[in-house]
Amino acid sequence: MIELEGLTKRYGEKVAVNNLSFTVRPGIITGFLGPNGAGKSTTMRMVLGLDRPTSGDVRIDGKHYDQLKDPLTYIGALLEAKAWHGGRSAYNHLLCLAQSNGIPASRVREVLDTVGLTAVARKKTKGFSLGMGQRLGIAGALLGDPRMLMFDEPVNGLDPEGIHWIRNLMKTLAAQGRTVFVSSHLMSEMALTADHLVVIGQGRLLADTSMAEFIAENSRSYVRIRTPQREQLLDALQGAGIKVAEPGAEALEVDGDIAQAVGELAARHQIVLHELSPQRASLEEAFMQLTAESVEYHAHDGQPPGAAPGQQQPGQPPQQPWGSDWKRG
Ligand code: ADP
Ligand code: MG
Q: Is the CB of 96 under 6 A from ligand 1?
A: no
8 Å CB contact between 198 and 40: no
**CA 32 to centroid of ligand 2, rounded, Å:** 11
Residue 201 beta carbon below 6 angstroms from any ligand 1 atom: no
Residue of 262, 223, 199, 235 whose CA lies nearest to 39: 199
Decide: 180 and 27 in contact? Cβ < 8 Å: no
Q: What is the number of other CB atoms lying within 10 angstroms of the CB of residue 266?
A: 20
pLDDT for res 122? 94
pLDDT of residue 220: 79
Give the angle subtended at the CA of 270 by the CAs of 265 and 272, to the nearest 5°: 90
Among protein residues, the one whose CA lies closest to atom 17 of ligand 1: 16
Q: Is the CB of 12 under 6 A from ligand 1?
A: no
Q: Cα 144 to chain center, whole Å?
A: 25
Say if ligand 1 is within 6 A of residue 56 CB: no
Q: Measure the CA–CA gap between 32 and 179, rounded to whole angstroms.
A: 13
State the DSSP string of 217-260. Answer: HHS-EEEEEE-S-HHHHHHHHHHTT---B--SSSEEEEESS-HH
CB 67 less than 6 A from any atom of ligand 1: no
Question: Do β-strands 221-226 and 29-33 pair in parallel, antiparallel, or remain unpaired?
Answer: unpaired
Whole-number Cα distances in Å, 281 to 188, 218, 292: 13, 7, 17
Strand order in the sheet with 75-78: 75-78, 148-151, 179-184, 29-33, 196-201, 204-210
Q: Judge if the beta carbon of residue 37 lies within 6 A of ligand 1.
A: yes
State the pLDDT at residue 219.
77
pLDDT for 294 equals 67
Closest CA to 318 of 21, 37, 14, 5: 21
Q: Please give the Cα distance from 286 to 293 (Å, whole number).
A: 11
- The residue contributing the CA closest to ligand 1 atom 25 is 11
pLDDT at 289: 81
Ligand 1 atom closest to the Cα of residue 34 is 3
Where are the extended beta strands (E) located within 70-136?
75-78
Residue 189: name the closest of 29, 323, 37, 75 by CA: 29
Going by alpha carbons, the residue nearest to atom 15 of ligand 1 is 37
Residue-level pLDDT at 156? 84
Using only C-alpha atoms, the chain has a radius of gyration, in whole angstroms, of 25
51 alpha carbon, closest ligand: 1
Encode pLDDT of 108-119 as tens digits. Answer: 999 999 999 999
The Cα angle at residue 185 between residues 313 and 4, in degrees rounded to 5: 30
- Partners of 222 in the β-ladder: 255, 279
How remote is the CA of residue 84 from the centroid of ligand 2, in Å? Answer: 18
Question: Which CA distances in Å does 207 have to 36, 179, 260?
Answer: 17, 19, 34
Cα of 48 from ligand 1 centre, angstroms:
16
Q: Which ligand is nearest to the CA of 17?
A: 1
CB 40 less than 6 A from any atom of ligand 1: yes
Q: Is 36 touching ligand 1 by the criterion CB < 6 Å?
A: yes
Q: Is the CB of 11 under 6 A from ligand 1?
A: yes
- Give the distance (Å) from ligand 2 centre to CA of residue 322: 24
Residues sharing a CB contact under 8 Å with residue 311, sequence separation 6 or more, in sequence order = 303
Distance between Cα 37 and ligand 1 center (Å)? 6
Closest-CA residue to 257 (of 226, 305, 223): 223
State if residue 274 touches ligand 1 by the CB under 6 angstroms criterion. no
Where the chain has pLDDT below 70, the residues are 81-85, 293-329
Stated pTM of the model: 0.78
